[in-house]
Amino acid sequence: MEDAEKRRDYLATYDGTIYANGTHTVIGTVLVRTSNKLTATQQKELEQKVIDALTRLE
């Protein structure tokens, strides 16, 4: 988990710059990223779908 959080923090240093890379959220030990080529709404929707798939219990 620590590695994923470090990566998220590193990516956050680019937020608001020309190197911005979309959303980035840590779920457990996984870093979920989306592309900045998507709209903000699309980024959040895709991020939520990935999180839901990763955390779904069957």
pLDDT, position 1? 77
Residue 10 clears pLDDT 90, i.e. is over it: yes
CA distance 58 to 41: 28
Q: Has this prediction a pTM greater than 0.85?
A: no
* pLDDT exceeds 90 at position 58: no
Mean pLDDT in residue range 5-31: 92
Given this model, what pLDDT does residue 35 score? 93
The SS3 of residue 18 is coil
Chain centroid to CA 43: 9
For the stretch 25-53, pLDDT in tens is 999 999 999 999 999 999 999 999 999 99
DSSP at 39: -
